[in-house]
Amino acid sequence: MNNHRVKPGSKLRLKDFDPDDTGDYKKTEQGKDKAKALTGELTAKLGGLQERLYANGDRALLIVLQGMDTSGKDGTIKSVMSGVNPQGCRVASFKTPSSRELAHDFLWRVHQEAPPKGHIGIFNRSHYEDVLITRVNGMISDNVAKQRFDQIKEFEELLYESGTTIVKFFLHISKDEQKDRLEERIRDPEKRWKFNSGDLEERKLWSDYLRAFEDVISATSTEHAPWFIVPANRKWYRNLVVAGAVAETLEEMKLPCPRPSKDVDWDRLTIE
């Protein structure tokens, strides 16, 4: 999955990444089926890797999901994490800050949601909202945003040095694909609850958001907290890329098989 990984210090241009890319898988039913089959294998593997993470209890994994409206953050969580034990995985969503949260620094509410050791934490939107929405809507200046870039990097370095591995995904869709998905929400009574008229106002700022994403990803993709640009027009390929990167990240943590209790004589143990 390294071809989707953003190298630290690189100058990102999202126009160089095709949101309709499907890698080695053809845009056919056969290609889709192959990708789905591999995704199924990866999600099953994630279950075993998560069990080791939970049993060892000395490391944590934080998954950050960002993207434009309708990019598929909820769908990614539902698909990719379908094989893990809910006891060892929790999702946090960050919406408009409350008055209590606004009374603290912008990272205060985020730090409280960082996963404890042994767990996988998923941020559906994240601390990056505070350098995206706020910047695009003129709530903070460019200088404040860039200052926050450094603060975010220091925050993520703190988490990493405390035992939390971090992997971040930008789910990249085209403007035309977003239009199709918004229209689907309007047409389908089962999906209308997802529609928010504010989404249309945010859509008008599409180019501004892309530039903001380019700046923040370029500034904050590091060795210990990398960004991945995930082509997300095709949901089946999006899920494959994220599942592969998460599985690879957990494997690189080299989680040992948890040691059994020393208080038990395993060779002589019998159960009546």
Identify the pLDDT of residue 272: 73
Whole-angstrom distance, CA of residue 19 vs CA of residue 173: 5
Identify the pLDDT of residue 267: 73
pTM higher than 0.85 for the full model?
yes
Tell me which residues of the chain have a pLDDT lower than 50: none
Whole-angstrom distance, CA of residue 97 vs CA of residue 80: 28
Identify the pLDDT of residue 257: 83
DSSP-derived letter for residue 5 is B
Domain boundaries, the chain: 2-252
Identify the pLDDT of residue 177: 97
User: Under a CB-based contact definition with an 8 Å cutoff, are residues 134 and 102 in contact?
Assistant: no
Percent of the chain with pLDDT over 70: 98
Identify the pLDDT of residue 266: 66
Which residues touch 160 (CB under 8 Å, ≥6 apart)? 166, 224, 225
What is the CATH T-level fold of the domain 2-252, as seen in this structure? Rossmann fold (3.40.50)
Which residues touch 199 (CB under 8 Å, ≥6 apart)? 69, 70, 182
**Structure tokens of 187?**
């047409």
Identify the pLDDT of residue 135: 96
Rounded to 5 degrees, what angle do the CA atoms 104, 107, 109 make? 70
Identify the pLDDT of residue 1: 61
